[in-house]
Amino acid sequence: MEFSSRARQRHLKLAGDRREPYPHSLQFYQEPPTESISLAEFESFAVDRLRLLKVVENLGVSYVKSGDAYKTKLEAELRKLKFPYRALAEDDYDARRKDHISHFILRLAYCQSEELRRWFLQQEMDLFRYRFHELTDSLRQKFLDHVNLSFEAISEDLKNELSNELYMSTPGLSMSKVKEQMFYKVGLSDAVDLFRARRVFIKDGFAFVPLKDIDAIVLNNYRKSLSKALALTARSLPSIQSDERLQPLLNHLSHSYVGPDYSVQKNTGKISLEHIDALSVKSFPLCMRQLHKALRENHHLRHGGRMQYGLFLKGIGLTLEQALEFWKKEFIKGKVDADKFDKGYAYSIRHNYGKEGKRTDYTPYSCMKIIMSNPPSQGDYHGCPFRHSDPELLKQKLQSYKVPPSGVTQILELVKGMHYQLACQKYFELTHDVDDIGFSLNHPNQYFAESQRILSGGREVKKEPNHLGNSQQKNNSQESVNSNSAPTSSNTTTDAELEGLEAYFTED
């Protein structure tokens, strides 16, 4: 990293005054961090921020963003992950530093494709919006001054002259408020939304925006600058990726899954092969149901499908012996003879179970991995149906699975908004007849485990009269269910922070 003299100054400042570099709880992330950190901190900061952004995504689709439920939950997550959570005026140095550094690390990981950039931008915007709103008026004023957005506050004289027009143009402001609040002269292109709806006074090509509306404009500015920054970062990526320490980590972050890895098979041996057909309809997520069906129909699956489905079956408790029997029986019905199976396919299955080669026990794929890597081509049945299927075909499939039409519409809306996991969650809710899935879906095996829990009566099913939009009631039902269901063994949770690097590299 290059050191400019300004950075050196900041370096010196860091040694002395800890508060100086981060005078506010939020920032525009315009200056990258210039200190040195350990690889461990690099990883953990990045993973924590990724967790945070995923929560932001989930909350953003499940709750009204300005509502109390959203705010409380987001604040709780911020606290848990040790990010700045209230517009604390006092010393919050560590949290702010973490915020700063983790943002820049994720930029490296998420600048690489249009889809990743869009996702990152959306979540960072939502996070910024939440934080900006949490500022008190005076802190907000200070922040704007500090950030020095080129919005000039108009003079008292001018404001008095225009006070009547300002009052008439700005809904929600009484005359007295007009007199006390600060107004900013802003270019039309910065105030597009206010200007188009005539919610602001304009004159000579400028909009006169009160402090209370300035956040939309600030957000717009933030989006533009972050978008530009991401594009620039993408261009300088090759040089960063050549750093061997960083490359695997960065690749990983953008495909990363941060939860239990289902390599611990609590239910080993509890599934019998005769049940699989029924289970595929009741408890499999759509991707696995699709794979199972294709396997039964074609008596074959290609490599991508064998991996995705095979590891899933391992995760739900199929033993190696069962797996070999299962696949062999099916493949023999097709074009494969027993001998060929034993020589070729069997080896690969044993490999998955860690009985061959490097003997790594491979972990079942997470949703993120399925959605983002190895897209299916013609003749493939793997991938995520919500991501990879043509919406028309998806619709037909859902209809054939007796999903009610309103449900189908909701799912397609989520798919259109690229919320694939949320679409799957909705599918879960509809097929299990529950109002609220009660957990954040990240992994097909998690889907299976939760489904089994419901079906075996291990979880209370609460049904409210109006399902959509009643966040208060949603709040109640959330409390009775664990929002993060994880397997009980504690040693896997720490290891499961990131999917095994080795596994990641050799699986494909």
Partner 1 sequence: MAPFEPAALPELLPVFYRRLFPHGAYGRWLGYGGVEKNYFQLREFSFTLRDDVYVRFQSFGSPQELEKELQRTNPYKIDIGAVYSHRPNQHNTVHLGAFQPVEKELVFDIDMTDYDDVRTCCSSADICSKCWTLMTIAVRVIDRALVEDLGMKHRLWVYSGRRGVHCWVCDDAVRKWSPALRAAAVEYLSLVKGGAETVKKVNLSEPVHPFIRRSVSVVEKYFEAYALQGQDILGSPERWDKVLALVPEEHRELLQSEFPKKRDSVQRWELLKGRMERTRRLASSGKGTACYADWEVMLQYCFPRLDINVSKGIGHLLKSPFSVHPKTGRISVPLDVQRLDDFDPFAVPTISSLCQELDAAGDDTEQEDGEETEPKRRMRDYRRTQLAPYVKAFEQFVEEMERGRRVERLRRSDLQGEF
Binding site residues for [4Fe-4S] cluster, as ranges? Answer: 287, 367, 384, 424
Q: What is the DSSP letter of 81?
A: T
Q: Does 168 bind partner 1 (CB under 8 A)?
A: yes
Helix, strand, coil percentages in the chain from 3-state DSSP, rounded to 5:
60, 5, 35
Tell me the closest approach of the beta carbon of residue 180 to partner 1, in angstroms. 18
* Cross-strand partners of 187: 206
Tokens of 191: 């105030």
Tell me the closest approach of the beta carbon of residue 199 to partner 1, in angstroms. 8
Q: Does 143 bind partner 1 (CB under 8 A)?
A: no
Q: Does 203 bind partner 1 (CB under 8 A)?
A: yes
The single residue among 167, 182, 215, 474 that binds partner 1, judged by CB under 8 A, is 167
The single residue among 70, 151, 195, 427 that binds partner 1, judged by CB under 8 A, is 195
Q: Does 201 bind partner 1 (CB under 8 A)?
A: yes
Q: Which stretch binds partner 1 (CB under 8 A): 13-21, 202-210, 328-336, 387-395?
A: 202-210
Q: Does 197 bind partner 1 (CB under 8 A)?
A: yes
Q: Does 151 bind partner 1 (CB under 8 A)?
A: no
Tell me the closest approach of the beta carbon of residue 171 to partner 1, in angstroms. 6
Tell me the closest approach of the beta carbon of residue 168 to partner 1, in angstroms. 5
The single residue among 7, 192, 219, 332 that binds partner 1, judged by CB under 8 A, is 192
The single residue among 102, 169, 442, 446 that binds partner 1, judged by CB under 8 A, is 169
Q: Does 189 bind partner 1 (CB under 8 A)?
A: yes
The single residue among 202, 216, 320, 332 that binds partner 1, judged by CB under 8 A, is 202
Sign of CA dihedral 34, 35, 41, 42: positive
Q: What is the DSSP letter of 366?
A: P
Q: Which stretch binds partner 1 (CB under 8 A): 67-75, 187-195, 359-367, 370-378?
A: 187-195
Q: Does 158 bind partner 1 (CB under 8 A)?
A: no
Q: Does 219 bind partner 1 (CB under 8 A)?
A: no
Q: Which residues are annotated as a binding site?
A: 287, 367, 384, 424
Q: Do the Cβ atoms of 352 and 311 come closer than 8 Å? A: yes
In DSSP notation, 270-299 reads ---GGGHHHHHHHTS-HHHHHHHHHHHHHS
**C-alpha distance from residue 463 to each of 419, 468, 469 (Å):** 24, 12, 14
Q: Which CB sits closer to partner 1, 164 or 506?
A: 164
Q: Does 338 bind partner 1 (CB under 8 A)?
A: no
Q: Does 171 bind partner 1 (CB under 8 A)?
A: yes
**Distance from C-alpha of 333 to C-alpha of 6, rounded to nearest angstrom:** 71
Distance of CA 51 to the CA centre of its chain: 7
Q: Give, rounded to a whole angstrom, the gap between the first and last alpha carbons of the chain.
A: 33
Q: Do the Cβ atoms of 387 and 285 come closer than 8 Å? A: no
Tell me the closest approach of the beta carbon of residue 119 to partner 1, in angstroms. 22
Q: Do the Cβ atoms of 275 and 313 come closer than 8 Å? A: no
Tell me the closest approach of the beta carbon of residue 175 to partner 1, in angstroms. 10
Q: Does 228 bind partner 1 (CB under 8 A)?
A: no
Q: Which CB sits closer to partner 1, 191 or 441?
A: 191
* The Cα angle at residue 457 between residues 455 and 463, in degrees rounded to 5: 85
Q: Which of residues 409-468 bind partner 1 (CB under 8 A)?
A: none
Q: Does 139 bind partner 1 (CB under 8 A)?
A: no
Q: Does 188 bind partner 1 (CB under 8 A)?
A: yes
By the 10 Å C-beta count (0-12 exposed, 13-18 middle, 19+ buried), 354 is classed as: middle
Q: Does 206 bind partner 1 (CB under 8 A)?
A: yes
Q: Does 114 bind partner 1 (CB under 8 A)?
A: no
**Distance from C-alpha of 22 to C-alpha of 225, rounded to nearest angstrom:** 20
Sign of CA dihedral 165, 170, 172, 178: negative
In DSSP notation, 309-350 reads HHHHHHHHT--HHHHHHHHHHHHHHTT--HHHIIIIIHHHHH
Tokens of 379: 């003749």
Q: Which residues in this chain contact partner 1 in the complex, by CB under 8 A?
A: 165, 167-171, 188-189, 192-193, 195-198, 201-206
